[in-house]
Structure 1
Amino acid sequence: MTHCVSAAPSRAQPYADRDETTQTTDATPTSTPGDLMSREQRLKLVLVLGSLIAVGPLTIDMYLPALPAIVTDFATTSAAVQLTLTGTLAGLAIGQLLIGPLSDAVGRRRPLIAGLLLHIVASALCVIAPNVAVLGVLRVVQGLGVAATAVVAMAVVRDLFTGSAFATMLSRLLLVMGAAPVLAPTLGGGVLRWTDWRGVFVALAAFGVLLVALATLALPETLPPARRQRGGVVATVMNYGGLLRDRVFVGLVLVAGLAMAALFAYVAGSSFVLQDTYGLDEQEFALAFGAGAVGLIGATQYNVRLLRRYPSQWILVTSLVAGTVAGLALVVFAATGVGGLPALLVSLWLVLAAAGLAMPNAPALALSRHGEAAGTASALLGAVQFGVGAIAAPLVGVLGTGAVAMALVVAGGMVAALLVLLVVVRPSRLAGLEAAPAVAVAH
């Protein structure tokens, strides 16, 4: 395989080596390693990281069309099967807390490859799971493995970029990884035409093998030894303690997590609502689910254009207000049945679009404050996002599998995110945050 970042520095001279001794200044933002990359190099980096990070959404979404079939096969309840989704999200949350500090200590590549190998093993074992309880445990292990891709991709981008450039790169990365939610249910539906739900996990294991090769051959190390964290468990605890004492950072992490909760409430409930309540078949559900993902992706890319004219904090506030309004409308349509399926889908699309604007900007603003521990900060961010998502998914099942239950949790996530931003973070505290260079200092 050719080196997918061929124009970039080799592993012997990674991107980050160009900026090992960069120090922050009081007034003028310093250059970052990403500033030295050409447009072609940035595009190749996005494609590599996007391919790697796509395994997360695929692991979460690809088996969604099969959820009703799994209920029947294991003679269990929809709530029990939804817990297998919760298990994946919980594994993602816990795994990121472990892998983030590890990637700050030993570099980005080794934790990434180890996580992918764990994901492959867990996917293969899911194929022979004898009951829903074992499947749920294996989904936790899948989440632990795939957590490495989420942490490392975010940390690599933060190693190379900061401020609005970080938000722009993250939006581009979301374009690539956003194809996964669009394709995943469709791919899952295609697999189900030829085999049963177990075939989905065969496909995930095969994809994991390809990603190990990609990570081994195409991703350079972006964290040189001089900038790696030292001190083991004590340093890790201190890093997490420092992050948790930063009220603005914690608030922005909660905002990102609650926006993710709205997204995962839709993921957890959509297959039951659209197939059982509205009578869509597996292929029709895949198309409807994909249409929502297109709205999410389109918003992330429109965010790049907005960043040229408006600051991230303005976009974040506006998107959460719009998402709250759309979420409340969704509850009304679900409860009254006014407008039928079209009104339900349109309001869902608007919520997802609002989340697509919020999701790149909240992490960019949060991580701009802590470039010295990008892996740990990214881990805490990801853990909260998927942890809150892990709570939201079964909450939909507890409330019921109907449209009202899903709508309440989706809208609740957006309302809570807006309240946290206004009360905990306070938009006035974000003024000028993007201008802070927050470049990692050599240790």
Structure 2
Amino acid sequence: MLLALALTGAIGPFATDTYLPALPLIVEEFRITASTAQLTLTAFMVSLAAGQLVIGPLSDRVGRRTLLVLGSVGTALAAVVCALAPSIWILVLGRVAQGFAGAAGIVLSKAVVVDVGRGAGVAKAFATLMAIQSVAPVIAPLIGGAVVPFGGWRSVFWLLAGLSAITVVGVLVAVPESLPAASRRTGSVLSTVSDMRGVATHGPFIARVSVFVFTFGVLFAYISASPFIYQDMVGLSPTAYSVAFTVNALGILVSNLAGARLIGRFAPEKIMRTGVVGMVTAIVHLVVVVALSPAGTLGLAPVTVGFVLLTLSVGLVLPNAAALSMQATRGRSGSGSALLGAAQFGLAAVVSPLTGLAGPHSVIPLLVVMGACAVLVVAATWAVISRPVRAT
């Protein structure tokens, strides 16, 4: 079941990371600017966030499985629309639909884990789930780099359509309904809004979600800036960059797997705190590297050391922060998962353009964004540790 859930939640990384090498070809075919082509990324991220706010609370009332199936089917159909798009605006609309439908896998995979798990088992399941899902950003750039040169940018969407079709089969075969009718929420749309407000204003939930979201902000800032850092400042080729990005992404996979084994021996809060310390150390290391490097250039080895430490640390924080967040939803896991996911991808949409404000040859905006997010993570972590909450 975890494998099927991980696959439904991996559509987001696949739909972004495999797609990045295709942007120049889209600019050329439709004769548009790069910023217009990037609207397809922004539209996807915004729709991915908005879809979770709708699908998560709805699943608390109608159940998880049907929405998972419909989301996977919708993602496949939207990918076909994108692959056949005759204009940039049809492509943007297809990406909006793909993001909204793909939100089902992201928000409901977390909710299902909470439905069937208890206590430390939830944190372990989240670590395992994220370990499987973290394979996506490891292989997605390599797949995109291999497919686009031979099949063009449309081939990426045919690939995503096929992957979505596989998720439909996986959900039908391996994922039972995890929320029985007796446990579902009832009431009107107003009561749904009330449920979300109740979760969103619950102090322990806010603290735990803040750790997760701002840690993801640090990670996404790195992802957004990494092509410019490695290619324009370090001097790597696009192929060498893909290899470097994959090596760094392996850090998340390794720490997710290690974290899953540590849960049961150590409290999730302690593992999360260790990851936060490592993340702050990585950012300080990167600041020192930039301060000691000639303007506009960076060395491959010191930068990679910093980024590998960063991804290793993030891999310890995210699954435990997610598990602790979901345990603080007070029985409203669909609404809680929706709020967590919407905040996560909403912040990602904001962070991405900020890292490039000073151009491709400056890393200062990246460090500022990372530092600001890290400060908020430290404050939220302190709040989590000082105010423990009983699992629900």
Give the alignment's TM-score, normalised by structure 2.
0.91
Do 2:210 and 2:376's aligned partners in 1 also have CA atoms closer than 8 Å?
Answer: no
Do 1:175 and 1:301's aligned partners in 2 also have CA atoms closer than 8 Å?
Answer: yes
Distance 1:48 1:269 in 2: 31
Distance 2:367 2:35 in 1: 17
Could you tell me how far 1:365 is from its partner in structure 2? 1.2
Distance 1:274 1:72 in 2: 24
Distance 2:155 2:163 in 1: 12
5+ long unaligned stretches in structure 2: none
Could you tell me how far 1:389 is from its partner in structure 2? 1.1
1:426–1:106 distance in 2 versus 1, CA, 3 Å: closer
- How big is each residue's C-alpha offset from its partner over 1:111-141, in whole Å with a ceiling of 9 and x where there is no partner? 1122122222222222244555554443232
1:419–1:68 distance in 2 versus 1, CA, 3 Å: farther
Could you tell me how far 1:210 is from its partner in structure 2? 1.8
Distance 1:411 1:100 in 2: 31
1:410 maps onto 2:366 in alignment: no
Structure 1 residue corresponding to 2:351, chosen from 392, 398, 402 = 392
Do 2:208 and 2:325's aligned partners in 1 also have CA atoms closer than 8 Å?
Answer: yes
Tell me the residue number matched to 1:428: 386
Do 1:256 and 1:358's aligned partners in 2 also have CA atoms closer than 8 Å?
Answer: yes
1:141–1:277 distance in 2 versus 1, CA, 3 Å: farther
- How big is each residue's C-alpha offset from its partner over 1:310-343, in whole Å with a ceiling of 9 and x where there is no partner? 2122222231122122113223434543760221
Counterparts of 1:7-406 in structure 2, within 5 Å, are 45-74=1-30, 76=32, 78-129=34-85, 134-334=90-290, 336-337=292-293, 340-402=299-361, 404=363, 405-406=365-366
1:398–1:132 distance in 2 versus 1, CA, 3 Å: farther
Aligned residue for 1:398, secondary structure, equals: coil
CA RMSD of aligned residues (A): 2.2
Do 1:163 and 1:364's aligned partners in 2 also have CA atoms closer than 8 Å?
Answer: no
Tell me the residue number matched to 2:379: 419
1:398–1:141 distance in 2 versus 1, CA, 3 Å: farther
Do 1:171 and 1:303's aligned partners in 2 also have CA atoms closer than 8 Å?
Answer: yes
Distance 1:355 1:76 in 2: 36
Do 1:320 and 1:417's aligned partners in 2 also have CA atoms closer than 8 Å?
Answer: yes
Aligned residue for 1:372, secondary structure, equals: coil
Could you tell me how far 1:156 is from its partner in structure 2? 0.7
Distance 1:74 1:257 in 2: 35
- How big is each residue's C-alpha offset from its partner over 1:20-47, in whole Å with a ceiling of 9 and x where there is no partner? xxxxxxxxxxxxxxxxxxxxxxxxx222
Could you tell me how far 1:154 is from its partner in structure 2? 0.5
Aligned residue for 2:355, secondary structure, equals: helix
Could you tell me how far 1:249 is from its partner in structure 2? 0.6
Could you tell me how far 1:408 is from its partner in structure 2? 3.5
Could you tell me how far 1:193 is from its partner in structure 2? 3.0
Could you tell me how far 1:197 is from its partner in structure 2? 2.0
Distance 1:410 1:69 in 2: 31
1:328–1:138 distance in 2 versus 1, CA, 3 Å: farther
Say which is worse superposed, 182-191 or 78-87, in terms of deviation.
78-87
5+ long unaligned stretches in structure 1: 1-44, 439-443
Give the alignment's TM-score, normalised by structure 1.
0.81
Could you tell me how far 1:283 is from its partner in structure 2? 2.8
**Amino acid across the alignment from 1:151:** V
- How big is each residue's C-alpha offset from its partner over 1:89-120, in whole Å with a ceiling of 9 and x where there is no partner? 21121111100011111111111122122222
Could you tell me how far 1:65 is from its partner in structure 2? 2.9
Distance 2:361 2:38 in 1: 14
Tell me the residue number matched to 1:22: none
Distance 2:258 2:384 in 1: 25
**Amino acid across the alignment from 1:307:** I
1:262–1:73 distance in 2 versus 1, CA, 3 Å: farther
Distance 1:116 1:327 in 2: 37
